[in-house]
């Protein structure tokens, strides 16, 4: 993984409007956070909304949902929608699986993959394979053309811009990039937030290696809490800042865990088996996903301890335990050793053996 060898002074006050009218950035000395409404994410979310997937039907932004229903409801029996239903039943393409693909695909209607589908990244969602992706994209292209999706998407530009501004007003007051460098030991080459208007309360994080070798950390942020004036989503710091930290932490943790199945698969399987119902309800039904969540939640609590205080730490630990992460408090304490011995553990990857030691004896008690 690429490591930044210099300390970057974070300046979150300068804003730029990029070539894409839907994107804004905060610039830093070599670092930035981009915020956008990505049409591919919106297209895939729409397909699964029409297919009836639970995640994409929380309907927490009623003004936007009404526009979607008015424009697309006559297409609920389109072949792309039926194929999405089939994918859900046969391959568990639900929850974050459509989003895990969307972040690697170019804009509609072409939907050109930005990676080699015959050689998927090692940390790519295992529910997908090259053939399934090709078939999925074929149907999605047909739907995008026949539904005039991009025309609809562009007509929502004002709504998108307001949504971006709402998030920007909260996020750019917070100095989060410096914490990522300090805690993990390096920056990605780019941080990006995609507001996902149909994702409701669901949020995801991905680490992407781009064709030029750069690493991009991507947070997909759901939409809720609409303004009463125009219905755009709002972003309360208390709820959304920890979510953003959580999802960006995924971009650090996920690639590390999936790359070491010989060390962590047995641990993840044991945790999943012992708390299956609690994990399944949250959509965590694969060994690496369970371990990703454990570590990301612990890292997020470390952020809260430094920036938000003990009350938020205790609240999160309590909630995590109720959700099946019964070892979370001890894992947070273990990360104290990582933070206090950075000469020995310069980056989070160097601490993975200690994390393995922490969980290994516990699997025999599950």
For 247-288, the DSSP string reads HHHHHHHHHHHHT-HHHHHHHHHHHHHHTHHHHHHTT--SHH
Q: Is the pLDDT score of 23 beyond 50?
A: no
Beta bridge partners of 218: 192, 206
pLDDT at res. 65: 96
Q: Which of 103, 124, 122, 4 is nearest to 44 (CA)?
A: 103
pLDDT at res. 230: 92
Q: Which of 275, 308, 303, 310 is nearest to 290 (CA)?
A: 275
Dist CA 349 CA 352 (whole Å)? 5
The mean per-residue pLDDT over the stretch 270-283 comes to 85
The mean per-residue pLDDT over the stretch 190-199 comes to 92
4: confidence class by pLDDT, cuts 50, 70, 90: very low
**Which two structure tokens, joined as six digits, stand for 338?**
């990582």
Place of tokens 């990582």: 338
Q: What is the DSSP letter of 226?
A: B
Dist CA 202 CA 361 (whole Å)? 33
Dist CA 27 CA 17 (whole Å)? 11
The mean per-residue pLDDT over the stretch 6-10 comes to 25
For 36, phi then psi, to 5°, come to -150, 165
pLDDT at res. 292: 94
178: confidence class by pLDDT, cuts 50, 70, 90: confident
pLDDT at res. 25: 45
pLDDT at res. 351: 97
The mean per-residue pLDDT over the stretch 102-123 comes to 91
pLDDT at res. 363: 66
Q: Is the pLDDT score of 153 beyond 60?
A: yes
117: confidence class by pLDDT, cuts 50, 70, 90: confident
121: confidence class by pLDDT, cuts 50, 70, 90: confident
Is the separation of the CB atoms in 76 and 50 below 8 Å?
yes
Residues contacting residue 173 through CB under 8 Å, at least 6 positions apart: 12
What's CA 110's distance to the chain center, in Å?
Answer: 24
What does the pLDDT look like over 89-104, one tens digit per residue? 999 999 899 999 999 9
Is the separation of the CB atoms in 235 and 164 below 8 Å?
no
pLDDT at res. 2: 34
**Which two structure tokens, joined as six digits, stand for 72?**
């697309």
The mean per-residue pLDDT over the stretch 139-159 comes to 98
18: confidence class by pLDDT, cuts 50, 70, 90: very low
Q: Which of 50, 100, 56 is nearest to 198 (CA)?
A: 56
65-78: buried (b, 16+ CB within 10 Å) or exposed (e) per residue? bebbeebbeebeeb
19: confidence class by pLDDT, cuts 50, 70, 90: very low
Dist CA 162 CA 147 (whole Å)? 25
Q: Is the pLDDT score of 7 beyond 70?
A: no
For 360, phi then psi, to 5°, come to -55, -50
pLDDT at res. 213: 76
Domain ranges of the chain: 14-251, 260-361
pLDDT at res. 84: 98
The mean per-residue pLDDT over the stretch 202-209 comes to 85
Q: How many percent of the chain have pLDDT more than 90?
A: 61
The mean per-residue pLDDT over the stretch 285-310 comes to 92
Q: Is the pLDDT score of 82 beyond 60?
A: yes
Helix (H) or strand (E) holding 50: helix 39-50
pLDDT at res. 15: 27
User: What's the mean pLDDT when you consider all of the chain?
Assistant: 86
DSSP string across 286-350: SHHHHHHHHHHHHHHHHHHHHHT-HHHHHHHHHHHHHTT-TTHHHHHHHHHHHHHTTTT-SSGGG
CA distance between the termini of the chain: 34
Q: Is the pLDDT score of 109 beyond 90?
A: yes
**Which two structure tokens, joined as six digits, stand for 44?**
């895939």
**Which two structure tokens, joined as six digits, stand for 357?**
């030691």
Dist CA 193 CA 218 (whole Å)? 6
pLDDT at res. 279: 86
Dist CA 290 CA 283 (whole Å)? 9
Tell which phi-psi region holds residue 284, choosing left (phi > 0), alpha (psi between -120 and 50) or beta.
beta
What's CA 153's distance to the chain center, in Å?
Answer: 22
Q: Which of 163, 166, 363, 172 is nearest to 269 (CA)?
A: 363
Q: What is the DSSP letter of 57?
A: G
Read off the pTM.
0.74
Q: Is the pLDDT score of 286 beyond 50?
A: yes
pLDDT at res. 205: 85
Helix, strand, coil: what percent of the chain each, to 5?
Answer: 55, 10, 35
118: confidence class by pLDDT, cuts 50, 70, 90: confident
The mean per-residue pLDDT over the stretch 306-323 comes to 91
pLDDT at res. 366: 57
């Amino acid at each position: 993984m690429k490591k930044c060898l210099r300390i970057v002074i974070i300046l979150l006050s300068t804003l730029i409007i990029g070539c894409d009218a839907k994107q804004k950035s905060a610039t830093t000395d070599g670092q930035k956070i981009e915020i956008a409404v990505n049409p591919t994410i919106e297209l895939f979310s729409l397909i699964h909304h029409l297919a009836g997937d639970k995640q994409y039907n929380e309907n927490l932004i009623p003004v936007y949902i009404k526009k979607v229903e008015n424009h697309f409801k006559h297409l609920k029996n389109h072949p792309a929608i039926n194929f999405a239903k089939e994918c859900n039943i046969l391959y568990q393409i639900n929850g974050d699986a459509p989003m895990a693909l969307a972040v690697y695909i170019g804009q509609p209607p072409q939907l050109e993959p930005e990676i080699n589908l015959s050689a998927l990244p090692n940390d790519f969602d295992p529910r997908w394979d090259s053939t399934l992706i090709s078939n999925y994209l074929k149907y999605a292209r047909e739907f995008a053309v026949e539904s005039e999706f991009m025309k609809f998407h562009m007509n929502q530009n004002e709504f998108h811009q307001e949504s971006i501004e709402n998030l920007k007003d909260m996020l750019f007051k917070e100095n989060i990039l410096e914490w990522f460098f300090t805690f993990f030991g390096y920056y990605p080459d780019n941080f990006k937030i995609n507001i996902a208007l149909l994702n409701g309360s669901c949020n995801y994080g991905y680490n992407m290696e781009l064709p030029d070798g750069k690493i991009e950390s991507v947070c997909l942020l759901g939409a809720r809490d609409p303004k009463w004036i125009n219905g755009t989503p709002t972003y309360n710091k208390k709820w959304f800042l920890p979510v953003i930290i959580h999802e960006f932490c995924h971009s650090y943790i996920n690639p590390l865990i999936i790359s070491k199945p010989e060390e962590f698969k047995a641990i993840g399987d044991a945790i999943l088996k012992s708390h299956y119902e609690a994990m399944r309800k949250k959509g965590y039904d694969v060994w690496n996903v369970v371990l990703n969540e454990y570590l990301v939640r612990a890292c997020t609590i470390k952020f809260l301890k430094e920036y938000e205080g003990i009350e938020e730490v205790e609240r999160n630990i309590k909630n995590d335990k109720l959700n099946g992460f019964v070892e979370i408090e001890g894992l947070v304490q273990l990360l104290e050793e990582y933070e206090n011995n950075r000469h020995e553990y310069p980056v989070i990857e160097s601490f993975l053996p200690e994390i393995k030691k922490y969980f290994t004896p516990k699997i025999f008690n599950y």
